[in-house]
Amino acid sequence: MTDNGASTPSQAEIMAMIASLQAEVRKIAEQSSKVSNGNPLHAREAESLEVTPPKEKLTLDNPFSEEVMSVKMPENFVLPTGLKPYEGFGDPRVHVKKFQSMMFFNGASDPVLCRSFPTYLDGAALLWFSKIPVGSISSFEDLARSFIDYFAASRIYVHGSDYLSTIKQGQHESLKDYMTRFAKATVEIPDLDPKVHLHALKSGLRPGKFQETIAVTKPKTLEEFRERAAGQMEIEELRKARRVERLQPRKEDEKHPRLPNQKDSRRPFKLTPKYDAYTQFNTKKEDIIKEILNAKIIKPPSRAGSYQDQRYVDKTKHCAFHQKFGHTTDECVIAKDLLERLARQGHLDKYISGRIKQAQTNADHQSDREPHTTERPKHQPTPTRGIINCISGGYAGGGSNSSVRKRSY
């Protein structure tokens, strides 16, 4: 017996019911096979049993009430174009608030909000709007609430206040970037306690002078903390600007690398040759310079070439006059002018082939014209051959610290 007083069927009755059900199943199977074999009678019976699905409605019903539709749209009303239509992804609350803020700027009323809202829907959101019952929306509050509830699953995950304790200032992150990142996280936390906000903000500071300052001053409100942070951010911006100024020349050099033999454009001036024509010597200029240096007729400049950037000095070139790397003796304008001046003064005749022959010819003619005598004039002073004024300084690229040396012969 069961609780409601009905008798429990016996085993024989149960077996009879099972046999009856099996017979019905066989009968249905036979009818199906006959329809598949092309029997027109059973085909018509099968068609009578088919259910025709309802066709999808292609037109859009008006879900707004008469009160909403009776309001006339303002003249010259233009919909904002800066809002992207909602397609069913993202926080629906944010979309509603953006829509309202843009429409309020145009002074839109509640009915205008209702009738304008579908314009900013697309995809799944537009399909949702098409399924709203006819005449069921009488205010924008009803429309917004239904919209937010339907797309609640699409809302971006919002952190709680405990999440703020995980935000820490990076080792090389500026205070401005840290506070900006912290502020973005707090916007998504509803009803955030200011004390919790301040505690998490202070706890996330990177160890340093500013953190020590906050620990000593102990700001009690977010406004006090922001006032002290504003001063620190100005200091960081000033330091950053100074670093950029110091690195600017180096970055310019990296953008335009200079070849080893390329002249430095930052030199204050550039020397040019002083003479229009130069003497051709029968000896290399480098050897001539070495000989007159060894004879102490001239001396090399002491600080010539110190203006050059040693990073770009070509070690394969050496100047015998300046005794420095970076250019050759043939390229040195100072050495070239010096040798030309000495040659014109007659001190380098032995390095000039034509003058050697001319000097020998003149000596022979003089000896033929003068009578041979063994007497030597008395009290004849030794004539002075000339004065060498050696101006020592930088080479073609320019140079300072010039010195003048006079020597008589």
Query: What residue ranges do the domains of the chain occupy?
Result: 17-48, 66-154, 161-232, 261-364+385-409
Using DSSP, how many helices (H) and how many strands (E) does the chain show?
14, 4
Taking only the tens place, the pLDDT of each residue in 16-29 is 777 777 778 777 87
- CATH code: domain 161-232 is 1.10.1200.30
The phi, psi pair for 391, rounded to 5°, reads -100, 115
* CA–centroid distance for 114 within its chain: 44
Q: 195, 163, 155: which is closest to 182 by C-alpha?
A: 163
Sequence-ordered alpha helix ranges (H) in 50-123: 66-70, 92-105, 110-116
What is d(CA 162, CA 312) in angstroms, rounded to the nearest whole number? 58
pLDDT band at 391, cuts 50/70/90?
A: very low
Q: 394, 390, 389: which is closest to 303 by C-alpha?
A: 394
What is the average pLDDT value for the chain, to the nearest integer?
A: 75
Of the ranges 31-45, 133-147, 162-176, 244-258, which one carries the lowest mean pLDDT score? 31-45
The token pair that represents 98 in the structure block: 């953006």
Using CA of residue 65, residue 66, residue 68, residue 74, what is the dihedral sign?
Answer: positive
Q: Please list, in sequence order, all residues whose beta carbon lies within 8 angstroms of the beta carbon of residue 216, skipping any fewer than 6 positions away.
A: none
pTM (2 decimals)? 0.35
Question: Quick check: 291 pLDDT over 80?
Answer: yes
Note the residue count of the chain.
409
Amino acid, res. 27:
K
Which one has a higher pLDDT value, 34 or 67?
A: 67
Beta strands 324-325; 318-319: pairing state? antiparallel
pLDDT band at 361, cuts 50/70/90?
A: low
Residue whose entry in the numeric block shows the structure tokens 């505690």: 199
Q: Which residues pair with 389 in a beta bridge?
A: 406
What is d(CA 313, CA 48) in angstroms, rounded to the nearest whole number? 102
Q: What percent of the chain has pLDDT over 70?
A: 67
pLDDT band at 214, cuts 50/70/90?
A: very high
Q: What percent of the chain has pLDDT over 90?
A: 20
Question: Quick check: 379 pLDDT over 50?
Answer: no
